Amino acid sequence: MKISAIQLDLAFDDPLQNEKKIKNEIEKTMEKYHPDTIVLPEMWNVSFFPDNIQTNADKDGKRTKAFLSHLSEKYRVNIVGGTVATVYEEKYYNTSYQFDREGNLIHTYHKVHLFSPSEEHNKFTAGNQLGIFELDGVKVGIATCYDLRFVEWIRLLALSEIEILFIPAAWPNPRVSHWETLLKARAIENQLFVVGVNSVGTTDKLTFCGHSLIVDPAGEVLASSNDNETILNATLDLEKRKTIKEQINVFEDRRPELYNRYSV
């Protein structure tokens, strides 16, 4: 599967400008790289995140769904649509929508672990469903930014036998080393491909660190970036995951009966 991950400097609280930019970037990506799947960063409609989220949160995700559905159908490409601020029945969510090559919405994920240092938990409602879906017949998973720190949550995805984990993010400085280390660790410990797509640029409070990464199940970096806008590309050889599991099969060697005994 050929992946293109688009690392962007998003306009703060300006969904129209961000839509325009994403449309251009997707056009450019399709012309230059012809990927199977395009991946976007977290909260791309407003950036992470305006205090007055009420103003521009997407009602029922209607606008975002129409926008991404049109692009995925037009370019016959799967889109892992990063996340956007949404509002459903007066509750705000950090929501990710996924589309297949026919423009069908195939999956929706609401961020589960809200980033309390930025007061995200006071503005948004947390989701409570695992993010699992299929792209071109491949089982894949999604988690959003801060979710990456929750090893138990990502393990549940891995135990569901996903092959690729997508992590859209708005991960700021000064924690670039956490971001890179955790992406690699989640790839190695779960023997998965991990596609981490961050933002760059600044808001009134944060500077996003970029350094998006595509990592293979052995923790080898297939594509990396700095803190500029860029498109990362990698072809994921899904057979490699099988070979790695044959060499060190941590899933065969797990002792879940002990983990359950000591669980608190």
Ligand X SMILES: NC(=O)CCC(=O)C(=O)O
User: Would you say 48 or 166 has its CB closer to ligand X?
Assistant: 48
User: Would you say 82 or 103 has its CB closer to ligand X?
Assistant: 82
32 catalytic? Reply is no
Size of the site for ligand X (CB under 6 A): 11
161 catalytic? Reply is no
Of the candidate spans 65-73, 144-152, 218-226, 245-253, the one that interacts with ligand X by CB under 6 A turns out to be: 144-152
Note if the bond before 172 is cis, omega within 30 degrees. no
Of the candidate spans 9-17, 64-72, 166-174, 236-244, the one that interacts with ligand X by CB under 6 A turns out to be: 166-174
Does residue 172 touch ligand X according to CB under 6 A?
yes
Contacts by residues 104-107 (CB-CB < 8 Å, ≥ 24 positions apart): 104/69, 105/65, 105/69, 106/133, 106/134, 107/131, 107/132, 107/133, 107/142
What tokens does 64 get?
């975002």
Compute φ and ψ for 46, nearest 5 degrees.
-125, -5
CA–CA separation, 189 and 201 (whole Å)? 31
**Which residue in 41, 171, 188, 191 binds ligand X (CB under 6 A)?**
171
Question: Catalytic residue among 145, 163, 180, 184, which?
Answer: 145
Using CB under 6 A as the criterion, what x/- string covers residues 177-196 for binding ligand X? -x------------------
Using CB under 6 A as the criterion, what x/- string covers residues 92-121 for binding ligand X? -----------------------x------
CA–CA separation, 198 and 196 (whole Å)? 6
User: Would you say 191 or 212 has its CB closer to ligand X?
Assistant: 212
Among 95, 236, 108, 100, residue whose Cα is nearest residue 163: 236
* 199 within 8 A of 229, measured Cβ to Cβ: no
Does residue 20 touch ligand X according to CB under 6 A?
no
Question: Catalytic residue among 19, 25, 42, 180, which?
Answer: 42
**Which residue in 146, 193, 210, 216 binds ligand X (CB under 6 A)?**
146
119 catalytic? Reply is no
Using CB under 6 A as the criterion, what x/- string covers residues 48-87 for binding ligand X? x---------------------------------------
Among 63, 43, 56, 53, residue whose Cα is nearest residue 14: 56
For 86, 141, 167, the CA distances from 138, given in Å and listed in that order, are: 28, 10, 17
Pairing of strands 213-215, 105-110: unpaired
- Contact residues: ligand X, CB under 6 A: 42, 48, 115, 145-146, 149, 170-172, 175, 178
